[in-house]
A and B are shown apart, each in its own frame.
Chain A
Amino acid sequence: MYQTFRQSMTWLHTWFGLVLGFVLIVVFFFGALSVFDREIDRWAQPATRFAPQPMPSFDHLLRPVFERITEPDPDAVELARSMVDGPLPEKYPVMDWSAYTTHRDPVLDTYVSFDVPNARNPDDHVHGHQTIDPRTGAQLSASDLKIGSEFFYPLHYSLHLEWMELGYWIVGFAALSMLAALVSGVVIHRKIFRELFTFRPQKQRQRVTLDLHNLTGVVALPFHFFFAFTGLVIFAGIYFPVSETQLRPLVEAHEQAEAAATGLPHDPAGVAAPLASVDAMVSDARRRWASRGMGGDVGFLFVNHVGDANGYVSIYRAGTDRIALTGQGIHYQASTGALIREDPPETAIASVNEFLTGLHLQHFRHWLLRFLYLFGGLAGCVCIATGFLFFVEKRKQQHARDGVAGARIVDALAIATITGTLIAALSMLVANRLLPEHLADRDEWQRNVFWMTWLASGVHAFWRSGFTQEGGAAPAWREQTLLVAVLAVAAPILNWLTTGDHLLATLETRYWPVAGIDLFLLATGVTASLIAHRLRRPALAHAHLATMKP
């Protein structure tokens, strides 16, 4: 469509970058926050501000917890409605129990899978879950939202658009476009090495924006490529569901062959059987890991075919000390506790796969890398944001002369996705501290505050960006940056007032999850105030550039 390869790549970069950039900046921002999802949870759930706990005793503590989860979660029942043709089943038979924990989790998530007897697809099942205090077994209130791991993190990969898994597809398409934008970006900017060292803040605004775009794009190029690529690999089963469709016969044959080879029954026997002591199995698994010179924390515990003669218990080692999430699985017969099998070392392909996906998900312990992820993610946000600004700066004079609204629309959308996203996330934290503790549907209220403030910021951005259409700067930038500053300072103060955990106390006791979030919020507040102050002076034409810094 264009004369040269470079021209076609410029077109691809500009238009895919622009349209999918609005998705990508949300994905990058909440991905960056998700790196500290457990810590945000602690901030938002004062009752869980205690030290991370190991996997508790199964026999004394976990088993009663699993046994009291007798039906699927309400949203899972809604999901079941789409799996059956007729009415919902009266009863959902229990299939398996599982619990997963990492070195950053004070609370434990316990899951029960339920069969949906009349589902069209016999493999379909639904989940029930409870979050518990692993010291006592007490259930945490289901309306006590884990803002980090239950809201920001799923927003990162699914946009909370669960219908037909639409959000996953949009994010996946955005990730593919990100890869294409990186390749085409490298083609456009041939002097790529020089751009590593080019930043000229005193130049005109358009040039500075482009410098910063190139700098953040090039410096973190391997990071951006890696995360977009591995993100696609993680959800490959959703994007190319060959195993559920075309290759289904191969999968069925494989599952039967694998069950025969490993001795782990694929189906229940239909004969009731008791459950032996799982704690004894855990001690045996620990002994076996120790004999291989490995640490003995249990990361994932799985009881399949609960209460059935074919039941078995799988115990996996936690992924604290290596990239893979879990590993070195050891399997026992549920009714007797007899060893069935120890997983052999991973094959080369599985190791590569675990390395790539594990490095993306980062459940292992490496705090320096965790911070690098945060800054890599924020660099991605700056790169995308400066891309928007460059688009606007390059065109707005021309659009003003032609009476076209293009630059203004892009500017307003940029405001809504840059400062608007910050406002929504911060408002949610503020609401988390202000809403009464025993309010019914407290989790829904917090979610609604997030979506409503985001929507309001979008409306405000369109309302207060008229100047962009005349070739000027939109006042919405400064107004929303001021609001970011106010909210970011209000959140730690409210945390202090409502929980007593002020910064001096959390720093003194070295309670980093809350101290770190408070410090980060205050830094955001100070940065936003400085930027808002600079945006007051229109003479400093390039100042509005600085608003990308979160």
Chain B
Amino acid sequence: MNSSAATVAPRRLVVTLSRIAAAVLGGYVFVWGLVALSISGLAAFGMDYDQAWMLAMLLAFLVYLVVFIWAFAARRLGLVWLVLLCGGAAMTMGAQLLVSD
């Protein structure tokens, strides 16, 4: 542990910053996708836009909180990034398809 302290410290800083970024930015991308997809999806099923918007926003911050905590608790940081970015991008694209429909 002592001998590797010098090399471990910068690496640990990078990992920590990556986790913070995953929680804050990755989480934001994921929740954006979720909000966009749930509003456009519910609207496509005939729900009033304002109603869909309110429902999505009531859930948005609870989901954000869950993925935020998960980003710090998860063993595999790569998986966190993968799920949040790819999930967020997929949902955002799904919403885009529904909007341009």
Which A residues lie at the B interface, using CB under 8 A? 1, 5, 8-9, 11-12, 173, 176, 179-180, 183-184, 229, 232-233, 236-237, 240, 242-243, 246-247, 249-251, 254, 347, 349-350, 352-353, 356
Pick the contact of A350: B15, B54, B62, B77 (CB < 8 A): B54
Interface string of B21-32 (1 = CB under 8 A from A): 000100000011
Q: Which residues of A contact B72 (CB under 8 A)?
A: 1, 8-9, 11-12
Closest to A5 in B: B73
Q: Which residues of A contact B84 (CB under 8 A)?
A: none
Interface pair B95/A240, CB less than 8 Å apart: no
Q: Which residues of B contact A250 (CB under 8 A)?
A: 39-40, 43, 49, 99
CB distance from A169 to the nearest CB of B (A): 11
Interface pair A353/B54, CB less than 8 Å apart: yes
Pick the contact of A179: B53, B65, B92, B96 (CB < 8 A): B65
Interface pair B16/A254, CB less than 8 Å apart: no
| Assembly CA distance A243 to B39 (angstroms) | 10
Pick the contact of B57: A8, A176, A183, A240 (CB < 8 A): A240
Q: Which residues of A contact B65 (CB under 8 A)?
A: 176, 179-180, 183
Closest to B15 in A: A1
Interface pair A1/B19, CB less than 8 Å apart: yes
CB distance from B70 to the nearest CB of A (A): 10
Interface pair B92/A246, CB less than 8 Å apart: yes
Interface pair A233/B73, CB less than 8 Å apart: no
Interface pair A232/B61, CB less than 8 Å apart: yes
| Assembly CA distance A128 to B78 (angstroms) | 51
| Assembly CA distance A184 to B57 (angstroms) | 23
Interface residues of B in 32-47 (CB under 8 A from A): 32, 35-36, 39-40, 43
Interface pair A246/B16, CB less than 8 Å apart: no
| Assembly CA distance A233 to B61 (angstroms) | 8
Assess whether B81 is interfacial by the CB under 8 Å rule: no
**Interface residues contributed by chain B, number (CB under 8 Å):** 36
Q: Which 5 A-B pairs have the closest CB atoms?
A: A254-B49, A236-B57, A232-B61, A353-B54, A12-B72
Interface pair B32/A242, CB less than 8 Å apart: yes
Interface pair A8/B24, CB less than 8 Å apart: no
Q: Which residues of B contact A179 (CB under 8 A)?
A: 61, 65
| Assembly CA distance A29 to B46 (angstroms) | 43
Closest to A354 in B: B54
Interface pair A240/B73, CB less than 8 Å apart: no
Q: A183-B65, A240-B32, A250-B40 are in contact. List 12 more A-B contacts (CB 8 A).
A: A8-B72, A180-B65, A180-B69, A233-B61, A246-B36, A246-B92, A246-B95, A246-B96, A247-B36, A247-B95, A250-B99, A349-B54
Interface pair A8/B73, CB less than 8 Å apart: yes
Interface string of B50-75 (1 = CB under 8 A from A): 11011101101110110011001100
| Assembly CA distance A180 to B61 (angstroms) | 11
What are 14 A-B contacts defined by CB distance under 8 Å?
A8-B72, A180-B65, A183-B65, A229-B62, A232-B61, A240-B57, A249-B100, A250-B40, A250-B49, A254-B43, A347-B48, A349-B58, A352-B58, A353-B58
Interface pair A356/B31, CB less than 8 Å apart: no
CB distance from A14 to the nearest CB of B (A): 12
| Assembly CA distance A246 to B100 (angstroms) | 10
Closest to A3 in B: B75
A180-B51 CB under 8 A given contacts A233-B57, A249-B99: no
Pick the contact of A349: B24, B31, B55, B73 (CB < 8 A): B55
A229-B96 CB under 8 A given contacts A1-B12, A12-B72: no
Closest to A246 in B: B36
Closest to B74 in A: A8
Q: Which residues of A contact B95 (CB under 8 A)?
A: 246-247
CB distance from B36 to the nearest CB of A (A): 5
CB distance from B21 to the nearest CB of A (A): 13
Pick the contact of B53: A173, A176, A243 (CB < 8 A): A243
| Assembly CA distance A246 to B19 (angstroms) | 28
Q: Which residues of A contact B48 (CB under 8 A)?
A: 254, 347
CB distance from A293 to the nearest CB of B (A): 27
Q: Which of A8, A232, A242 gathers the greatest number of chain B CB atoms within 10 Å?
A: A242
CB distance from B47 to the nearest CB of A (A): 9
CB distance from A285 to the nearest CB of B (A): 23
Interface pair B15/A242, CB less than 8 Å apart: no
CB distance from A485 to the nearest CB of B (A): 40
Q: Which residues of A contact B60 (CB under 8 A)?
A: 236, 240
| Assembly CA distance A247 to B37 (angstroms) | 10
| Assembly CA distance A252 to B57 (angstroms) | 19
CB distance from A357 to the nearest CB of B (A): 10
Pick the contact of B35: A12, A242, A347 (CB < 8 A): A242
Q: Which residues of A contact B55 (CB under 8 A)?
A: 349
| Assembly CA distance A275 to B94 (angstroms) | 47
Q: Which residues of B contact A232 (CB under 8 A)?
A: 61
CB distance from B58 to the nearest CB of A (A): 6
| Assembly CA distance A236 to B63 (angstroms) | 13
Q: Which residues of A contact B77 (CB under 8 A)?
A: 1
Q: Which residues of A contact B58 (CB under 8 A)?
A: 233, 349, 352-353, 356
Q: Which of B19, B54, B95, B99 gathers the greatest number of chain A CB atoms within 10 Å?
A: B54
Q: Which residues of B contact A240 (CB under 8 A)?
A: 31-32, 35, 57, 60
Q: Which residues of A contact B54 (CB under 8 A)?
A: 349-350, 352-353
